[in-house]
Structure 1
Amino acid sequence: MRTFSFGGGWQSMAALVLAAQGRIDFQTFLFANVGQDSENPHTLTYFERYAAPFAAAHGLRLIELERRIGKDRQQTETIRGRIINSNGSRQTIPVFLTNGKPGKRNCTYDFKVLVTGAWLKAHGATEDNPATVAMGISLDEISRANTGKAMPYERLIYPLLDLKIRRADCPRIIRSAGLPVPPKSSCDFCPMRKIHEWQAMREQDPARFERACKVEDTINAHLAAKGKRPVYLTRMGRPLRELFKDGEQLPLFATDDAGCDNGWCWT
């Protein structure tokens, strides 16, 4: 079994085009959707409008997966739903602590690794017969390639590295197929988002920004009830809704992209 982990961003969309062109040998792409209320809505729109039709037109399988829970596995769990429905007790995402460092995360493992793994195992992947799973890590992100973190039922490979493709090459590859370049993929309230991206969201889509603030508020209400310090969606040490007021200029430092293990996110 050979599958490609499709994140919805530049690298994975370039890989889909490369597969259609016969430059990489993958027919099945797996998209672990972390939730209609959790994924970047622009990523979901691109997936439906461009990625899925392109895959179908070229005989490729682009399969959308969801995290299923409950005794009969009929319920869909999303990252935002987990946080809001647990009143913040299951925060899941790598929020920033008061010292500016990111905390632990379960989002990638629970909503991408395990979701994809469930599909692989249901289709025959085992420790004795592992699936080959390709990740969309480009040459400029080679430090994120880590085959040692593969699950027992999979073997991780990095075809973009073999082709010496950099992130900057991906738009050209995508446009060569007559497709627009997709937006950067990420959870809609991911703490790894850069400061200028938060500011753009606040200015261009205030309702979406407010939904992210609600996630932060919910987590902190839970922590306050337990007498614990607040956490934040940025490393600024202040609530998200209090940033960018009165034309305030904030540092435009990047967050630590190494927080995304194995390339499951942002590709």
Structure 2
Amino acid sequence: MTITNTEPAFRCLSLGAGVQSSLLLILAAQGHLPKIEYALFSDTGWEPRSVYAHLDRLEREVAAPAGIKVFRVSSGNIRRDALDPDHRFASMPLFIKNPDGGDGMTRRQCTGEYKIKPLKAKVRELLGYPYPARIPAGVFVEQWIGISRDEFHRAKDADVRYMRNRFPLLDLDLTREDCLRLLAENGFPDTPKSSCLGCPFHSDRQWRQIRDQSPEEWADVVSFDAAIRAGSARANATGSPLLGSAYLHRSRLPLDQAPIDRLSRAERRGQQLDLLPLADADEDDEPGGCSPWACRGDAA
């Protein structure tokens, strides 16, 4: 007879350092949720400076006093790897203008390679069964993922037996707006959205914020956008050039020429402005951050 454990070996938080996961860390540290042992931040190497600064503060002021160990795990630097002809690159979901004038997108492999892979490796290590060791049946961890009620459709089961996903914000029936309010009440009113600096799924508002608030990072993403016009350096070096032109912005224009000053309908409602051009329909709702386990591209 096989005996299956009903209790996890430990509880850990997938900490993207965005709105929802930051609140989960705070609630756990304050004792409003069960104790978690670890918080795992999967670093693509190209996160906004604001995210790294926020993560430092969370670790210093929230996690450490509560005895929660924060681990920063990584599979490499997504920006550097994309431009390295000697490195196999897990492609980003770039917008493509095909030679015939049609539109397309490259495959999205970055989430699996730069977010999920290092998280799984760390969980295995903490369990004491690093790859390729076999994890015994019934041994599992409870992994918390920050998905709020307004994004319930992004909640998914884990794809491995040794990880069981839990979504405490759904249990608490909290929306993203609830999370923002609670973060402000706890001294974190400026919690950033978590996603790669050059994520193609940025909204126009996010692109504007980078351009207007962080000129150095804007220059960085504009430079990267130009550098990937012909696809990844590895593909070109191995004789598999992109058939078409690649862009970070959905308009399929160079980023510094893209129409990012268009306001979404939500922004118009909030600011009561009628003077600036309106964004496309897919900009109506401002997307949240990018969870390793629920990339916003899954709904695209």
Q: What is aligned with 2:94?
A: 95
Deviation at 1:102, TM superposition (A): 4.1
Q: Deviations over 1:104-162 (max 9, x none)?
A: 21111111111011111112263621221111111110000111x52343111111111
Match of 1:70 in 2: none
Percentage of identical aligned residues: 28
C-alpha displacement at 1:91, in angstroms? 6.0
3-state SS in 2 of match to 1:111: helix
Taking structure 2 as the reference length, what is the TM-score of the superposition?
Answer: 0.74
CA distance in 1, matches of 2:294, 2:261: 37
Stretch deviating more after TM superposition (137-146 or 257-266): 257-266
CA-CA distance at 1:42 after TM superposition = 0.4
Give the whole-Å Cα distance in 2 for the aligned partners of 1:101 and 1:239: 16
After superposition, the C-alpha distances for 1:201-249 in whole angstroms (9 at most, x for unaligned) are 2233232112112222222234796362012111102111222599995
Q: In the alignment, which residue of structure 1 is the partner of 2:250?
A: 235
Q: Say if 1:131 and 1:91 are closer, same or farther in 2 by CA, change over 3 A.
A: closer
Matched with 1:30 is 40
Give 1:193 shift: 0.3
CA distances 1:145-193 after superposition (whole Å, capped 9, x unpaired)? 111x523431111111111111111122223333343111110000010
Deviations along 1:10-51, whole A, 9 cap, x unmatched? 10111011101212222311111111xx10110001111344
SS at match of 1:263: coil
Q: Deviations over 1:55-112 (max 9, x none)?
A: 1122222222222xxxxxxxxx211111122389736211112355543211111111
**1:79 and 2:82 correspond:** no
Letter matched to residue 160 of structure 2: M
Alignment of 1:179-194 (within 5 A): 179-194=188-203
Q: 1:262 aligned to 2:261?
A: no
**Aligned positions of 1:169-188 closer than 5 A:** 169-188=178-197
Unaligned runs of 5+ in 1: 68-76
In structure 2, do the counterparts of structure 1 residues 88 and 196 end up closer, same or farther at CA, with 3 Å as the change threshold?
farther
1:263 maps to a residue whose letter is A
Distance between the aligned counterparts of 2:189 and 2:261, measured in 1?
A: 35
**Which has the higher relative contact order, 1 or 2, with Cα contacts under 8 A spaced 6 or more apart?**
1
Aligned to 2:210: 201
Choose the corresponding residue for 2:121, options 118, 121, 130: 118
Structure 2: distance between partners of 1:159 and 1:102: 34
CA–CA distance in 2 between the matches of 1:187 and 1:171? 21
Alignment of 1:41-60 (within 5 A): 41-60=49-68
User: SS in structure 2 opposite 1:192?
Assistant: coil
Contact 2:261 2:277 in 1 (8 A): no
Provide the TM-score with structure 1 as the length reference. Answer: 0.83
Does 1:65 pair with 2:73? yes
State the partner residue of 1:71: none
Helix, strand or coil at the partner of 2:228: helix
What is the Cα deviation at residue 197 of structure 1?
1.9
Rate the CA distance shift 1:7–1:43 in 2: closer, same or farther, 3 A: same
Extract unaligned runs of 5+ from structure 2: 1-9, 130-134, 263-275
Q: Does 1:168 align with 2:177?
A: yes
AA partner of residue 41 (structure 1) = R
Match of 2:48 in 1: 40
* Structure with a larger share of its residues in helix: 1
| C-alpha distance in 2 between matches for 1:59 and 1:142 | 30
Rounded Cα–Cα distance in structure 2 between residues aligned with 1:167 and 1:210: 31
208-217 or 218-227, larger mean C-alpha shift:
218-227
Question: Residue type matched to 2:293 in 1?
Answer: N
In 2: Cα distance, 1:114 partner to 1:172 partner:
32
